[in-house]
Amino acid sequence: MQERKTIHESWGSRWIFILAATGSAVGLGNIWKFPYITGENGGGAFVLVYLVCILAVGIPIMMAEVMIGRRGQQSPINAMRDVAEESGHSGRWSLVGWMGVLAGFMIFSFYSVVAGWVLYYLASMGAGDLVAIGSDTAVQRFEGLLADFDTLLIWHTVFVVMVMLVIMGGVRKGLENAVKFMMPALFVLLFVLLIYSMQSGSFMRGWSFMFDFNIEKLTMQSVLIALGHSFFTLSLGMGAIMAYGSYMPKHTSIGGSVLMIGGLDTLVALVAGLAIFPIVFANQLDPGAGPGLMFITLPVAFGQMPGGQIFGFLFFMLVGLAAWTSAISLVEPATAWLTERFGWHRIPSSLVLGVIIWLLGVAALSSFNVLADFKIFGFTIFDFLDFTTANIMLPLGGLFIAVFAGWFMKQVHSREELAISNAIWFKAWYITLRYVAPVAVAVIFILNLYEKLQ
């Protein structure tokens, strides 16, 4: 096997790679979105579909991303080009990397706005501003925040700076140090909150809300949601995991690591649900709708509970950490590319990217106030960014990656890179990647678009 030289640093160990990729995967998607859609879509049955999607689509594609990244030893753009050329195909496969960089910018811009809300709530909890607030006040609070351009701008800016400081430090001093401390902290916080919710008196209600096998609540639509979410939650389809894979030490198992990452991501989502719903039920609140659950319902719940101020603070700290370690992975592919293409150091690269991302975020946050009436295809800027990335760019990126790894990349190369000793496991992966994953993604992609555009 020819060994490529890399200009990048690599992770200190296989464990660091697993922590970093888990950090990317575990984010707002797990703590806010997953519990809510699980409850809405029939609990247990939905969880089962979601698990199948993670195993049959998510894991195989994640293995492909890590594999291409490690083989290419570069940013997704250049890795896709080189790995394609190595198999005798067009270097234009780098376009998949380009689309990923663009998707990363777009996701970052709205992710950073939501992370800004989290920081604002963290500060408010810390200051004791949310003690004993009622539902009406909580709604006013959240709506007031959305209408307040300056406050949104401040917290969005803080978040961009936090992320860029880590990016600036590079793979070892920045990313590795960040995940080494933040991920264990995240696990501890989650565990503490789980214990807290177990003592709320409504733990079993929360449990059955999430796990009761309610097959009649399961619709075609919820299958689509499960598949789409398994994609977003694993950070697939834009090269984030590919970039992280390119820093993975050679001769370490890709399959085993990816199973671990997928398992941890799923575990965090399930535990987050079990930490949140009992608290909601214990306070006779509605497990209801999206953004409201985290920013309206939960503050009310915490506000009424003993120690609620402290645990509310810890909760928003947990969400903030999760968002932070996820957002890093959204800019890493672009940073790596700038370093490769222009030989730039990490500092100028992160400054340039920071400015681009900050500006896009300003556009996204304006859609709640000054630009509320500005619509693209009927979407506000924020919704447009969310919709286009999650429903179009990520599925498309994932589809291309599966097709590339399954049909274009030479099989000897993937065999070599994955180094799976058991022939049956390799075959299972290969067949899933060639047939199951692309078909499933294509179907969800088309049905989703059809559904949304009606």
Site string (264-293) toward ligand TRP, x via CB under 6 A: ------------------------------
CA angle 417, 419, 421 (to 5 degrees): 165
Which amino acid belongs to residue 246?
S
By beta-carbon proximity to ligand TRP, the closer residue of 103 and 133 is 103
Which tokens belong to 417?
């890179």
Please name the amino acid found at residue 115: A
> How distant, in Å, are the alpha carbons of 9, 53, 242, 449 from that of 391?
33, 16, 20, 7
At closest approach, how far in Å is the CB of 267 from ligand TRP? 13
- Distance of closest approach, residue 107 Cβ to ligand TRP, in angstroms: 6
Could you give the string, one character per residue 213-242, with x where binding to ligand TRP holds by CB under 6 A and - elsewhere? -------------------xx-x-xx-x--
Letter for the amino acid at 308?
Answer: G
| Cα end-to-end span (Å), the chain | 51
Q: Which is nearer to ligand TRP, 103 or 314 (CB)?
A: 103
Please spell the DSSP secondary structure of 202-260, one letter per residue: -HHHHHHHHH-B-GGG--HHHHHHHHHHHHHHTT-SSSHHHHHHHTSPTTS-HHHHHHH
Specify whether the CB–CB gap between 293 and 121 falls below 8 A. no
373-392: contacts with ligand TRP (CB under 6 A):
none
Q: What token pair was written down for 131?
A: 């003690």
Nearer to ligand TRP, 329 or 335 (CB): 329
Per-position b or e across 404-426, b if 16+ CB within 10 A of its CB: bbbeebeeebbeebbebeeeeeb
Residues near ligand TRP (CB under 6 A), total: 17
* Choice from 394, 420, 440, 444 touching ligand TRP (CB under 6 A): 394
Minimum Å gap between C-beta 343 and ligand TRP is 26
330 binds ligand TRP (CB under 6 A): yes
Could you say which of 22, 329, 380, 448 contacts ligand TRP (CB under 6 A)? 329
Contacts with ligand TRP in 24-43 (CB under 6 A)? 24-25, 27-30
Q: Is residue 75 close enough to count as binding ligand TRP by CB under 6 A?
A: no
Interface with ligand TRP by CB under 6 A: which residues?
A: 24-25, 27-30, 107, 232-233, 235, 237-238, 240, 326, 329-330, 394
